[in-house]
Amino acid sequence: MRASTVNDLRAPLETLRFLADEFPDLPAADVHVSRLFPDRVELSFHDDLGAFEAWRAALAIGPDAVRFGTQGADDSTMNLRAEGPYGACTLSLVAYAPAPSALLATGVAA
C-alpha cells in the first residue's frame, strides 16, 4: 500500500512518538519514513555501532537477527541490519561504519 496522504503515514509517525516517549535517553538516529512503505520506520546510525547495539538491545531484537554486509567498490564500509515489530510497524535498524580491513589499512584501531 502506497501512502497518498499524511494520514496514511499515521502508523510510522505514531511509532516515532512512542519511541521518543519510551526511549528518550537512547542515542539519536537518522529517521526514514517512506510513503512507499508506510508500515516501516528505519533508524540509521553512521559511524556509531554502539548506538545501533543500544537500540537493538532496548527493542529486544536478538543478536541472531543482525545481518552483516559490506558495500562500496572496495567493501570499505560495513553495514549491520536488524528489524523487528514495534507497534503497528516494522522497525528497521541500520548501522554503517568503516569495515575492519579499511580501519587496519589506515592505521586506525578497530
Summarised one tens digit per residue, pLDDT across range 15-56 is 999 999 999 999 999 999 999 999 999 999 998 899 999 999
The share of the chain scoring above pLDDT 70, in percent, equals 91
Q: Which pLDDT score is estimated for 95?
A: 95
Q: Which pLDDT score is estimated for 47?
A: 85
Q: Where do the structural domains in the chain lie, given as residue ranges?
A: 6-106
Cβ contacts of residue 37 below 8 Å, gap of 6+?
none
Distance CA 110, CA 106 (A): 10
Distance CA 35, CA 13 (A): 11
pLDDT, the chain, mean: 88
Cell of 76: 570499505
76: alpha, beta or left? (left if phi > 0; alpha if psi -120 to 50)? alpha
Q: Which pLDDT score is estimated for 46?
A: 94
Q: Which pLDDT score is estimated for 110?
A: 45
Q: Which pLDDT score is estimated for 93?
A: 97
What secondary structure, in 3-state letters, does 43-75 show?
Answer: EEEECCHHHHHHHHHHCCCCHHHCEEEEECCCC
Q: Which of 38-52, 58-72, 73-87, 89-103 has the lowest mean pLDDT?
A: 89-103
Average pLDDT over residues 65-81: 86
Average pLDDT over residues 63-82: 87
